[in-house]
């Protein structure tokens, strides 16, 4: 039974890697760092990867159970990359597992607060972004509003994308906000 699930999950491995590559490319866009004030640090880069991963997982959630295996494969791909990145940065074998576990818990927390923020009409999403995306720096005026607008816009665009298109990797994220005040 376990081997069957393992092999079934592997059927989505290539799709998950493709989606993860799109996530990382978007998270590396310099506009997020220069215009929106996201810290250009390991933490800031992880936060943008987590934010974009959330967007795809949030979309996949709408088509469960058909999308569950792809969502799990994407999650696994993300943390396999995090594990490898930590090792390349010199983290020892004993410390990597603990750090990856903390990162996974952090992603679960972000998923929860970003979902709640998208549902809430007020500033709940901005507060979640302040704690996470800008957690290590003081956010610039307007950057929270711009990033909250970006997150809402991208969630809406993904909601309109059919599951087959998403699973085929037909995903193009929109441009980051042009300026800190743009949404």
Flag whether 175 is in a domain.
no
Count of domains in the chain?
A: 1
Residues 88-92 have a mean pLDDT of 61
Residues 172-176 have a mean pLDDT of 94
pLDDT band (50, 70, 90) for residue 9: very low
What token pair was written down for 144? 């929270």
pLDDT of residue 26: 96
Chain segment 32-70, per-residue pLDDT in tens: 999 999 999 888 988 999 999 999 999 999 888 888 899
Q: Is there a cis peptide before residue 50, judged by omega within 30 degrees of 0?
A: no
Residues 149-175 have a mean pLDDT of 92
Flag whether 182 is in a domain.
no
Flag whether 59 is in a domain.
yes
What token pair was written down for 121? 């009409």
Provide Rg for the chain, Cα atoms: 16
Of 91 and 125, the one with more pLDDT = 125
pLDDT of residue 147: 94
- Residue 121, CA distances (Å) to 76, 116, 126, 178 in order: 32, 10, 11, 23
Question: Does residue 127 carry a pLDDT above 70?
Answer: yes
Q: What is the mean pLDDT of the chain?
A: 83
Flag whether 176 is in a domain.
no
Coil, strand or helix at 132? coil
pLDDT of residue 57: 93
Neighbours of 21 (CB within 10 A): 12
pLDDT band (50, 70, 90) for residue 84: low
Flag whether 91 is in a domain.
yes
Residues 142-165 have a mean pLDDT of 93
What token pair was written down for 75? 């999650």
Question: Does residue 112 carry a pLDDT above 60?
Answer: yes
Nearest to 115 by CA among 107, 141, 13: 107
Residues 6+ apart with CB under 8 A from 62: 159
Residue 49 CA to residue 122 CA, distance in Å, equals: 24
Give the best-scoring range by mean pLDDT among 90-99, 103-112, 125-134. 125-134
CA 139 to chain centre: 19
pLDDT band (50, 70, 90) for residue 151: very high
Report the percent of the chain where pLDDT is more than 70: 81
The residue segments making up the domain with residue 50 are 2-167
Name the region of 129 (left: φ>0; alpha: ψ -120 to 50; beta: rest): alpha
Please report, for the domain that includes residue 90, its CATH number. 1.10.357
Question: Does residue 85 carry a pLDDT above 80?
Answer: no
Flag whether 183 is in a domain.
no
CB 36 within 8 A of CB 180: yes
Neighbours of 177 (CB within 10 A): 22
Flag whether 139 is in a domain.
yes
Flag whether 112 is in a domain.
yes
């Amino acid at each position: 039974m376990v081997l069957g699930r393992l092999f079934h999950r592997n059927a989505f491995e290539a799709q998950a890697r493709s989606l993860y590559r799109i996530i990382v490319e978007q998270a590396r866009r310099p506009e997020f760092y220069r215009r929106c004030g996201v810290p250009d640090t390991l933490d800031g880069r992880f936060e943008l990867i987590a934010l974009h991963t959330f967007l795809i997982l949030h979309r996949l959630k709408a088509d469960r159970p058909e999308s569950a295996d792809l969502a799990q494969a994407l999650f696994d791909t993300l943390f396999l990359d995090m594990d490898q990145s930590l090792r390349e940065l010199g983290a020892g074998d004993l410390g990597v597992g603990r750090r990856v576990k903390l990162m996974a818990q952090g992603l679960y927390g972000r998923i929860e607060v970003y979902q709640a923020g998208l549902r809430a009409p007020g500033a709940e999403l901005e507060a979640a972004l302040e704690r996470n995306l800008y957690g290590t720096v003081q956010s610039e005026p307007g950057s929270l509003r711009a990033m909250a607008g970006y997150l809402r816009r991208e969630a809406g665009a993904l909601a309109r994308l059919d599951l087959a298109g998403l699973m085929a990797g037909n995903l193009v994220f929109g441009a980051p906000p042009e300026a800190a005040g743009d949404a």
